[in-house]
Amino acid sequence: MLSVSDESKTDIIYTYDRNSEPEISECSKFMIDLKFSLKKRLLQIVRDTKTFVMEILCPIILVLIGLGVSSAKFVVESNTKLMEKSVLSNQTVLVNRIPLLSNNSNINSEFLLPYSTSNINYQMLDWNNSTDNVTQSLINYNLFLQAKNDTVQNGNFLITRLDTTNHIHEFILISNLYTREGPPIFIQEMITNIMRTDLKVPDLIINVHIIFLIFSK
């Protein structure tokens, strides 16, 4: 047995100097932590596959499904089509000669007659309205049109105001529903002819393009 006397004992003092250790950058520390975190996560996945499916695989599948749905097109878009009155055949358009709000108008509807063509022929009606109420007058006007023969298929107008002084014009279209091109063409023609008269530009041309949505082909 080795014994050491108290006199021969020496005190050994260990000092720690942090500066003596090699410095590790923040990026290296992050990579080390990431490495061991991924390793730990991998071991958990190996031990429990259900956790992998529910926490990683399912969210990825849901994201892919969402991207697929968002990129799908459910509306079929048609090419733009120029509306031309030549697609109509011999349409007789009935128009009331005297505007409904005659006190606020300075012209009548006869300015439309020179713009009649083989496709759209304006015919004036001497309709005597008894009220300035637009809603009631429209009802009376419809009853008046229904009493006439062979007018149901036409696109007809109720002119309510023609004021070239203040440049205010109002009309109601009773649509031709037998052709899908009918309503936009009739509106285009009426607006064009009103502007020709108001602006005194007889050769004014307004082109209207329309896009038919799904189920309209």
Q: pLDDT tens per residue, the chain (217 residues)? A: 444 455 555 555 666 566 666 667 778 888 888 888 888 878 877 777 777 777 778 888 989 998 888 887 665 555 666 667 777 777 788 899 999 888 889 999 999 999 888 788 888 988 877 777 888 888 888 888 888 765 555 678 999 999 999 999 999 988 766 667 778 888 888 999 999 999 998 888 887 776 665 544 4
In a domain, 2, yes or no: no
Do 171 and 117 fall into the same domain?
Answer: yes
Distance in angstroms (rounded) separating the CA atoms of residues 5 and 189: 124
28 is in which domain, residue-wise?
A: 23-71
Classify residue 13: in a domain, yes or no. no
Burial class of residue 94 in the structure, from the number of CB atoms within 10 Å of its CB (0-12 exposed, 13-18 middle, 19+ buried): buried
pTM for the complete prediction? Answer: 0.57
**Same domain flag for 67 and 85:** no
- Decide: 113 and 83 in contact? Cβ < 8 Å: no
Residues 39 and 104 in one domain: no
* Number of domains comprising the chain: 2
Please give the DSSP secondary-structure letter assigned to residue 147: T
Distances (CA, A) of 217 to 75, 77, 129: 12, 10, 40
Residues in the chain: 217
Instruction: Judge if 61 and 108 occupy the same domain.
Output: no
